Amino acid sequence: MSETAVRAAARDGRLREELGRQQFSSQLHKALELTDDETAIYDVVANALRILQPDSAAELLLADNSHAHLELALSTTDSPRACPVMEPSQCAAVRRGQVLHFGDPNALDACPHLRKHAEACSALCAPIGVMGRSIGVLHVLGEVGAAPPEAAGQELETLTTLAGERLGLIRSLESTRLQARVDGLTGLLNRRTFEDEAHQALQRGEHVLILADLDNFKRLNDTHGHAAGDAALRLFSDLLMETVRADDLVGRFGGEEILVLLKDSDRDAAEGVLQRVRSGLAAAVERSGLPRFTSSFGVALASPGNRIDALMSRADQALYVAKDTGRDRWVYAGDPAPALVVAT
């Protein structure tokens, strides 16, 4: 074959490789656009890895919410986690922000963590970034001394870049949705979201609505400052969330008032929750070092079809009685109102 033919064949080969990369990038982009949560993104990454590196083990490590630890997001094998790096700052690929290949774990310039693998191997490591910040690494293993194809690094970089962009968008959308649903100070559902979800729940079953209010909250703010008041409200909110079930609803009604809907519950169940909250609050306040404070509760029992606004009104009336009769107690709004029962 003449030199001209050789050059032409090499050029054609490069063109085919470039076309293949462009097709892969286009298909990957379309696949990621179809995802609507992080799990779906990981599935796309796993499928892409099976195409790019069908004979290699791979894993994706991503930083947790604190950005202090790397957690396993996906693995293409059932084997235990291979890469021992536990923090983003410990990963050379993350620190340098570029794809790195380590062919021999015993080489002078090999990643020191590669030597800690259970079995000797090579590694191709591609950092993954979200909104300009490297938060993890895609770790592809191979045989010792095996050099990856020339295009492998570019393909992995394309994969991590596009996956990172989609991951950033999904997280941004989720953050926006979360901000629209929750109260910024306490992390509880905001009033609108609580009312919407409570309205749906009230269409069926029997439930209990509780309206809680911190006693003498204005005095706490005026005497110890708004920072102490905010801390007290957060502490009380956390206690409520820890006490109720995951399916129950807890939302900030406004100011220092908090709403709780105990789903599929009765008076006995509400009694247990209220007792645990009351005793737990005293212990939590003592541990926190905050000035002592208590709470009062108005309780309304709900039947199927009850309106949330009517229940809130009944719970509010009961709460008024709890405040008026000494605070640090709960009052049940009778069914039908206005019969009231005081419990201390």
| CATH code for the domain in which residue 165 is found | 3.30.450.40
Q: What are 15-51's pLDDT values in tens digits?
A: 566 566 778 889 999 999 999 999 999 999 999 998 8
| C-alpha to C-alpha distance for 324 and 319, rounded to whole angstroms | 9
> Would the pLDDT of 335 be above 50?
no
Residue 305 maps to a domain: yes
Count of CA atoms in the C-beta half-sphere (13 A) of 135? 21
What's residue 145's pLDDT? Answer: 81
Domain boundary among 181, 202, 224: 181
Of 59, 155, 256, 257, which one is the catalytic site residue?
256
CA dist list (Å): 42 to 38, 113, 296? 6, 24, 47
Same-domain status, 216 and 70? no
Q: What is the mean pLDDT of residues 207-223?
A: 94
Contact indicator for 41, 174 with CB cutoff of 8 Å: no
Residue 117 maps to a domain: yes
Torsion 154-160-163-166 (CA) sign = negative
Same-domain status, 243 and 129? no
Same-domain status, 162 and 197? no
Same-domain status, 302 and 174? no
Cα 305 to chain centroid distance, Å, stands at 33
Cα end-to-end distance, the chain, whole Å: 99
- What's the per-residue H, E or C state across the chain? CCHHHHHHHHHHHHHHHHHHHHHHHHHHHHHHHCCCCHHHHHHHHHHHHHHHCCCCCEEEEEECCCCCCEEEEEECCCCCCCCCCCCHHHCHHHHHCCCEEECCCCCCCCCHHHHHCCCCCEEEEEEEEECCEEEEEEEEEECCCCCCCCCHHHHHHHHHHHHHHHHHHHHHHHHHHHHHHECCCCCCECHHHHHHHHHHHCCCCCEEEEEEEECCHHHHHHHHCHHHHHHHHHHHHHHHHHHCCCCCEEEEEECCEEEEEECCCCHHHHHHHHHHHHHHHHHHHHHHCCCCCCEEEEEEEECCCCCHHHHHHHHHHHHHHHHHCCCCCEEEECCCCCCEEEEC
Residue 323 maps to a domain: yes
What's residue 336's pLDDT? Answer: 41
Q: Is 174 a catalytic residue?
A: no
Same-domain status, 9 and 120? yes
Same-domain status, 265 and 335? yes
Q: What is the mean pLDDT of residues 101-105?
A: 90
Same-domain status, 174 and 29? yes
Same-domain status, 10 and 94? yes
Q: What are 224-244's pLDDT values in tens digits?
A: 999 999 999 999 999 999 999
Same-domain status, 63 and 103? yes
Q: Which of 305, 303, 297, 308 is nearest to 340 (CA)?
A: 297
Residue 325 maps to a domain: yes
The domain tally of the chain equals 2
Same-domain status, 177 and 29? yes
CA dist list (Å): 70 to 94, 159, 283? 11, 19, 35
Domain boundary among 117, 146, 181: 181
Residue 338 banded pLDDT, cuts 50, 70, 90: very low
235 vs 1, more confident: 235
Contact indicator for 98, 73 with CB cutoff of 8 Å: no
* Residues 6 or more apart whose Cβ sits within 8 Å of residue 151: 17, 21
Orientation of helix 308-324 relative to helix 191-201, angle to 10°: 110
Domain that holds residue 234: 191-343
| C-alpha to C-alpha distance for 245 and 134, rounded to whole angstroms | 36
162 vs 176, more confident: 162
Domain boundary among 181, 211, 241: 181
Residue 186 maps to a domain: no
Q: Which of 193, 171, 170, 173 is nearest to 183 (CA)?
A: 193
Same-domain status, 163 and 215? no
Q: Average model confidence (pLDDT) for the chain?
A: 88
Q: Does the predicted TM-score (pTM) go above 0.75?
A: no
| CATH code for the domain in which residue 246 is found | 3.30.70.270
